[in-house]
Amino acid sequence: MIEEIKKYREEASAAIEAASSLVELETAERSHLGKAAPLQGLKKSFGSLPPEDRKTTGMALKEANVSLAAQLANKKADYEKAERAKQLESERLDLTENTEALRVGRSHIITQAMQELEDTFVGMGFNVAEGPEVETDWHNFDALNIPVGHPARDGFDSLFVDYGAPGSTLLRTHTSPVQIRTMLEQKPPIYVITPGRVYRRDTADATHMPVFHQLECLVIDKDISMAHLAGTIEAFTTSYFGDGFTSRLRPNYFPFTEPSAEFDIQRPDGSWLELGGCGMVHPNVLKAGGIDSEEWSGFAFGFGIDRLASLKFGVTDLREMFSNDSRFLAQF
Ligand code: PHE
């Protein structure tokens, strides 16, 4: 029987050694060390051994089992370690893997246009002034020589705010009320631009938005004439649009300027673009701003920024600029 023990032990040891995975190792364990294994079956034959042989045979069997169990445990430990390492590796979250560059935001095209316009005017010596978007009807109309009942009031399609007396508070319809605020705050000479958001009761379409942006320019100084106005618009035109561009004034009417004009920009291809309104500040407006019209005179002009930006960036529908679709905005 000693011979059989040796044989089965060698077979079992070889099988354990040959197992190349934890699963194969368990199979080897079952068939060579399990209850049904030939080595274990030998125990049943112990009774037929001569008593003097039982001890040595028993020792040999025990030794075989102990040594095989140790071999098995060693190998099992190796495989378990390897498998755990493999699992850890496969479940590892590689936090350094995200190589896509961080997405950096950008200024909206209106903001870009506004900043570029500001830079142009600041370069010409102007300061930037701001006023509130929710205005009193006095700043938005009365002080600008548009008293109650004046037909020009209706033309502005105002959005009134439910605050104070009915009709007394509104979302400013233009940046011109900032002319008044600036005159009341600063002493002449005044050279300011006032960019900002304005509101009108308009249905959104390709060329109109109920919320849009204007830039107003105000100059108050001694002996300011229409020539200064035309010259400033021309200087701005070439500085902002480029050398091939020029400008012209056409007579128009605004209650807050006298005389008043509309100004257009001519592109290098000869086509004209209507840009905004302008004129000499009306004496009533100077008076509302606390400025002596005998001593000082001035000019003002204002234009919309949105259409300018849409032309510059080749946007054909103003609504797209405010859809907040990042795929659209990321193009500029
Ligand atoms: N405020 C006028 C508008 O919104 C534009 C303008 C500004 C005209 C300054 C003359 C002087 O239409």
Write out pLDDT tens, residues 275-331: 999 999 999 999 999 999 999 999 999 999 998 888 888 899 999 988 888 888 888
Write out pLDDT tens, residues 176-211: 999 999 999 999 999 999 999 999 999 999 989 999
Give the global pTM. Answer: 0.70
- Distance between Cα 175 and ligand 1 center (Å): 8
Tokens read off for 164: 């104070």
Give me the residues of the chain with pLDDT under 70, please. 97-100
CB of residue 172 inside a 6 A radius of ligand 1: no
Give the separation between CA 272 and CA 159, rounded to whole angstroms. 31
Q: Which fold has domain 109-329?
A: BirA Bifunctional Protein; domain 2 (3.30.930)
Q: Where are the domains of the chain?
A: 2-91, 109-329
- Distance between Cα 226 and ligand 1 center (Å): 16
For position 86, what pLDDT does the model report?
87
CB of residue 298 inside a 6 A radius of ligand 1: no
Length of the chain, please?
Answer: 332
> Taking CA 121 as the corner, what is the angle to CA 226 and CA 212, rounded to the nearest 5 degrees?
90
Q: Quick one: DSSP state of residue 102?
A: P
CB of residue 254 inside a 6 A radius of ligand 1: yes
SS3 262: strand
Render 121-184 in DSSP notation, one character per residue.
HHHTT-EE----SEEEHHHHTGGGT--TT-HHHHHT--EE-SSSSTTSEEE-SSSTHHHHHHHH
Give the separation between CA 310 and CA 132, rounded to whole angstroms. 25
For position 1, what pLDDT does the model report?
79
CB of residue 279 inside a 6 A radius of ligand 1: yes
CB of residue 140 inside a 6 A radius of ligand 1: no
Q: Quick one: DSSP state of residue 290?
A: T
* Pick from 231, 203, 233, 234: nearest CA to 215: 233
Radius of gyration of the chain (CA): 45
Tokens read off for 282: 């009306």
For position 123, what pLDDT does the model report?
94
Give the separation between CA 55 and CA 59, rounded to whole angstroms. 6
For position 177, what pLDDT does the model report?
98
- Distance between Cα 142 and ligand 1 center (Å): 15
Closest CA to ligand 1's atom 7: 302
Tokens read off for 273: 């673009």
Give the separation between CA 213 and CA 302, rounded to whole angstroms. 10
For position 69, what pLDDT does the model report?
84
